[in-house]
Structure 1
Amino acid sequence: MSVNYLFLLDFLLLYGGSRRSLSEISPLEAILFDVDGTLCDSDPIHFDVFQEMLLELGFNGGVPITEEFYVENIAGKHNDEMCSILFPNWDHERAQKFAEEKEARFRKSAPERLVPVNGLHKVRKWIEDRGLKRGAVTNAPRPNAELMISHLGLSDFFRTVVIGNECERAKPFPDPYLKGLQDLKASPSHTLVFEDSASGIKAGVAAGLPVIGITTRNPPHTLLEAGATFLIKDYDDPKLWKALEELETRASNAEAGA
């Protein structure tokens, strides 16, 4: 186990699992982004594919699933967890085949429907102008994540793309975010996260990171209950830019007083 990873584990003992303030992370060094629902509003595509495939299986007596059912049982979850909820009696091979077909249908539909969350390219420029480290951390399969990131023109933006199922444990466990920190050689004391799901927010909080929740689709109260530091509508939200300005001011004042 590397010294860096040991440091992260020690940090978790002090901060993991508690809501953190943005003021604690000045000066800002790195930003980690979820992908689905955080970089782009992909949930409607996932919902349509799930609804179609579950109808084909006669799930729920042939009654289409609702968006509420999708949010509660599917959104933000990795495929193994999702299949165990939907199909508790299926063996692993059958569940895996369903998940692979679902992801293939998503990739087929996505290019025509994916659009960036409002203000994404504005925050991208802000990050690049300041030379901050950045990574993507997602429970999406790698082919999906890479397709979305490429379609949004962000392939050269991210220094690392961490996939939940390639870690020992996916979100809501902290492992993917700890891996992101390790890949970037970033300090958890100076890194923030953007997330849109309760599962992802729990993962970031468990890693000892402040998480800004984006209310793309999931109910705001579930994001706050998961531990989000505060919520924004999108990257154009004045609340976000006020917080980033305050972070920069705090860092400048600290440097001047050093």
Structure 2
Amino acid sequence: MKKFILFDNDGVLVETEPLYFEASKKALKEFFDVKLHFDQYMDIMTEGNGVWVAAPNATKEEIIRARNQRDIYYQEYLKKEDIAIDNIHDILNALSKNYRMGIVTTSRRVDFEIIHNNRGVTNFMDFVLCVEDYKRAKPYPDPYLKGLKLFNAQKDETVVVEDSQRGLISANSADIDCIIVHNEFTKTQDFSTAKHKIGSLKELIDFLPTL
């Protein structure tokens, strides 16, 4: 019986992934005259690399400048675009009656705080782990293993909710059950190793008791 839920953030609790792609694409074009293709971006994200591998001749200093500008673009998008998931508060409220929940994200803390400013999602969570809070990011198991430790939970009591192949690899490496929730942005990724898939976050309410 599951008692604990570890949520990915981007693409699961908020629709931010297309914005990060657009910000990265814009910075690569501006600083390196490199056109970042969607399929290429998907591969880079799955491997856990930075988009700057698409500009192999860039210097460290150039990458720092481009990354800083990308972060500016991303935060501008976050502040003006609609990133809400439909009925998210109702879903989390229903789940909170039977499960303890936390967020495990590869987002920087500063971006996470912009994303969730006055959104109310974190009110349902025991904790939030951002990329600064663990040694190695997804697809390594470290983020979800730390979440498990914070809950003081057993692996068989816990489930991960993800929308990306990188997150699935991380959960599998941590040996924690993972539910993939459909997301149009990541639908082309390889989820063949996923034991559980749902069409929307709302389905999680009825699906979890079956595990």
TM-score in same-fold range (> 0.5): yes
1:100 and 2:68 matched: yes
1:188 shift after superposition: 1.5
Q: Distance in 1 between matches of 2:50 and 2:82?
A: 23
**Percent identity for Structure 1 against Structure 2:** 24
2: distance between equivalents of 1:138 and 1:49?
A: 18
Alpha-carbon contact 1:160-1:184 (below 8 Å) kept: no
The answer to whether structure 1 residue 177 and structure 2 residue 144 are counterparts is yes
**Aligned positions, number:** 210
On the 8 A contact 1:40/1:114 being kept in 2, the answer is no
Pick aligned residue for 2:21 from 41, 47, 50: 47
How far off its partner does 1:212 sit? 0.9
Partner deviation per Cα, 1:205-235 (whole Å, 9 max, x = no partner) = 111111111221112551x23x322222221
Aligned-pair CA distance for 1:174: 0.4
Counterpart of 1:29 in structure 2 is: 3
Kindly tell me: are residues 241 and 127 of structure 1, through their superposed partners in 2, closer, same or farther at Cα, counting changes over 3 Å?
A: closer
* Corresponding residue number in structure 2 for 1:234: 200
The code of the aligned residue for 2:3 comes to E
Q: Distance in 2 between matches of 1:100 and 1:77?
A: 22
1:65–1:93 Cα change, 3 Å? closer
Larger Rg: 1
RMSD, aligned CA: 2.3
Partner residue of 2:80?
112
Q: Would the aligned equivalents of 2:41 and 2:51 in 1 still touch at CA under 8 Å?
A: no
- What is the aligned counterpart of 2:56 among 68, 79, 88? 88
Matches within 5 A, 1:239-254: 240-247=204-211
Match of 1:21 in 2: none
Q: 1:188 aligns with which of 149, 155, 159?
A: 155
- Work out the CA distance in 1 between the residues paired with 2:81 and 2:52: 28
Q: Is 1:123 the equivalent of 2:91? A: yes
- TM-score where L is the length of structure 1: 0.72
**Structure 1: 5+ residue stretches without partners:** 1-25, 248-258
Helix, strand or coil for the counterpart of 2:129?
A: strand
TM-score, with length taken from structure 2: 0.86
1:69 correspondence with 2:35: no
